[in-house]
Structure 1
Amino acid sequence: MTLPTAAAPDEAAVSHCLLDVEGHVLSAAGAARPYYAASTIKLHVLVAALRAAEQGMLDLSAQVPATRTFRGADGRPFTLEGDHLDPTHPEDGEPVQVRELLTRMIDRSSNEATNHVLALLGLEAVAATIADLALGATRVERLIGDAAALAEGATNETSAADLATTMLAAVRPVPVAPRGAPEPLLAAASRELARDVFGAQQIPVIATALRDGVRWGSKSGWVDGYRHDVAFLGDPDGAAVRVLAVMTAGMAPAEADRRITGLVRTLLPDLTA
């Protein structure tokens, strides 16, 4: 089954954004350009879910019945099938912990888990996190596979700059500067959970260019015509940690991976093999 996603890109493009530990831009090209986000939206969903848990609005220890059926923008149920499915996901009705849904959403990019978390949260919670981070190119407007929402023009998109900003805020005590709040976006326990799930990533791209011994965590995303990755590189508690986001369009997967890993080697020679 073909995933309902977005129109194929009409040109090849590569954008990147590299941030230091304080969020200063070390290197960027086309970093503000919006791309269809593919599974990188799961980064924003994770951060929104952790914030909801901190506010007592989501219980990460709760057991919920697994499902592949969700309500679309037209109010009708739709069921994920074919390319959407993760063969390791619990069968419908089997109990699964909310914390496990967050892990599956990131480490194996489970669409079932992502939609389930969005159903528990609501798209409004993700929009609030996007606003608090002042992300200029990010829109999370629909569940994955919601053909009705896609037909209405709803999309999920982001930029390399927004991905890098969100990853840094997920793993470092970054203040919510746009609102003037001195508190970090996430509490220490939430940042530690985020680091763990990013570090369990089963589908890395950026990390394939790193030398042994470099700590990293990432969230990749891909559909036909688009391939992206964002990663923290180094000890998140150390002064030398950096965050790199690379987004590509209009390339075959092997070429996109070559361009992404080539940027890693060019921008971060001290970390690469």
Structure 2
Amino acid sequence: MIWEELDAHLDRVPGTVSAYVGRPGADATWTRFADATHYAASTMKLAVLVALHRAAEAGRLDLDAPVPVDNSFASAQPGTPRFGNARDQDNDEAVWARVGGDAPLRWLAERMIVRSSNLATNVCLGQVGLPAVAQAWALAGARHSVTGRGIEDFAARDAGIDNLVTAADLAALLGEVALGATRPGPLASPAACAAMLDVLVAQEHREDLAAGLPAGTRIAHKNGWVRGVRHGAGVVFPDDAPPYTIVVCTTTDLADGGADGEQVEDDACRLIANVSARVWAARRELAG
């Protein structure tokens, strides 16, 4: 009954609300428009994180080596000028303080997740490359999600090159990371997957999925938002039930809070928190 009630509740929400709930490695318990594409906002950083760890394991990158921190990036649209990030659209002064110097790639990857730094993301993306991110999506079994450009690459955006996600694809990626921490999987070694989970657990933006959980509940998650968009994607680790994946993607006027780098709380946050709380109440009843 809870899933019918959730669908009825979300039917009244303006715009598109997609969702995926299930245990990693098992069939979904509940989905809602799970293959509908949404603008990714900062959830694209999940695939960048996976690509970085894969490249490190393959010996193509050293996560502990310092790399230059320059606010200048090649556009994904050929023949257009380089672009940079706007400092006032970011939420991590620690990364901006390194501009003109360098920083370890592992530290930048952590800031990309825990503070959702756009600048750190583009530096990491420049190191690992878009094809490696595409491969991370593919290996997880994603069918519709695309990371086509860096953040604030407006020339590429205007040319139709975009970053898109679905609830099902985000659940597939996170589910493989969670399962990969317990046994060898397609993405990375158990040690690398466990390290990624630790970074995701340290996420500091906790105003959506995490807000619907009891205090202290372990959740490895990433969110993303711009005006009109709010997403939350995570794996929850209850003490009294097996882990479960929960993803809620919204393209809605309820997401009226600020730019991607700003920490905001709006009606879309509260909507996602409400869904998270309802799923938590049914955590022992999920399939698989």
Distance 1:83 1:230, change over 3 A: same
Please, which of 271, 274, 284 is the counterpart of residue 262 of structure 1? 274
Partner letter of residue 171 of structure 1?
A: A
1:87 Cα deviation after fit? 2.0
Partner letter of residue 209 of structure 1?
A: G
Partner letter of residue 104 of structure 1?
A: R
Q: Which residue of 1 aligns with 2:72?
A: 69
Partner letter of residue 88 of structure 1?
A: A
For the residues of structure 1 that align with 2:171 and 2:112, how far apart are their CA atoms?
19
Structure 2 length normalisation: TM-score?
0.83
For the residues of structure 2 that align with 1:131 and 1:119, how far apart are their CA atoms?
20
For the residues of structure 2 that align with 1:249 and 1:257, how far apart are their CA atoms?
12
Checking the alignment, whether the CA contact within 8 Å between 1:21 and 1:240 is kept in structure 2 is no
> Which consecutive residues of structure 2, in runs of 5 or more, have no partner in the other structure?
1-13, 256-265, 284-288
For the residues of structure 1 that align with 2:46 and 2:17, how far apart are their CA atoms?
20
1:182-201 pair list within 5 angstroms: 183-201=185-203
For the residues of structure 2 that align with 1:120 and 1:21, how far apart are their CA atoms?
30
Q: Which residue of 1 aligns with 2:116?
A: 109
1:251 Cα deviation after fit? 2.6
Q: Which residue of 2 aligns with 1:7?
A: none
1:31-180 pair list within 5 angstroms: 31-72=34-75, 73=77, 74-85=79-90, 86-89=92-95, 90-173=97-180
User: SS where residue 129 of structure 1 aligns?
Assistant: helix
Checking the alignment, whether the CA contact within 8 Å between 2:34 and 2:168 is kept in structure 1 is yes
For the residues of structure 1 that align with 2:47 and 2:111, how far apart are their CA atoms?
15
Checking the alignment, whether the CA contact within 8 Å between 2:181 and 2:190 is kept in structure 1 is no
Structure 1 length normalisation: TM-score?
0.87
User: SS where residue 230 of structure 2 aligns?
Assistant: strand
Distance 1:151 1:229, change over 3 A: same
Deviations 1:20-39 (A, max 9, x none): 13232011111111000100
Deviations 1:129-188 (A, max 9, x none): 22222311101101111111112110000101111111111222289xxxxxx7442101
1:239 Cα deviation after fit? 6.9
RMSD: 2.2
User: SS where residue 251 of structure 1 aligns?
Assistant: coil
> Which consecutive residues of structure 1, in runs of 5 or more, have no partner in the other structure?
1-10, 176-181
1:52 Cα deviation after fit? 0.9
